[in-house]
Amino acid sequence: MALVPDAIDYMEDKTDVRADGTSYTAISLSTKIAAAIGVSIGLAIMGIFGYIANAEQSAKSVQGIDIAVNLFPAVCFLLTLIPMVLYKLTPEKNAEIRERLQIKAAAKN
């Protein structure tokens, strides 16, 4: 979420359109969809390994719980590192963008 304002400034600098509402709405929707999908995948993994609610769990179902609770989120976290490596906005570049936007705003007024 901390990178969203920088991305909004970047797009405003490139397109002269400020899309705060659209950007935050897209983030909110994608977060909700990802949460639903993540929980569904976790429950599916546990189901595949024979998890039965309110019952003594077998060694296989405990392994499924371990995968769903530990391994699956760890893999998802590692996948989030890919966009972060590709993210090219540095603090210096963000400062340049903000400066250009301030000059554009001053020129409009």
Q: Is pLDDT above 90 for 2?
A: no
**What pLDDT score does 109 carry?**
81
Band (pLDDT 50/70/90 cuts) for residue 79 is very high
The SS3 call for residue 1 is coil
> In 1-109, which residue ranges form alpha helices assigned H by DSSP?
4-15, 20-48, 59-66, 72-86, 91-108
**108 has pLDDT over 90:** no
65 and 47 in contact (C-beta within 8 Å)?
no
Q: Quote the pLDDT of residue 13.
A: 95
Is residue 66 within 8 Å of 46, Cβ to Cβ? no
Residue-level pLDDT at 9: 96
Instruction: Report CA torsion sign: 55, 61, 64, 69.
Output: positive
Q: What is the pLDDT, as a whole number, of residue 60?
A: 96
Mean local confidence (pLDDT), 92-99: 95
At 6-65, the pLDDT tens digits run 999 999 999 999 999 999 999 999 999 999 999 999 999 999 999 999 999 999 999 999
pLDDT at position 78 is 96
Assign residue 50 a region: left if phi > 0, alpha if psi is -120 to 50, beta otherwise? left
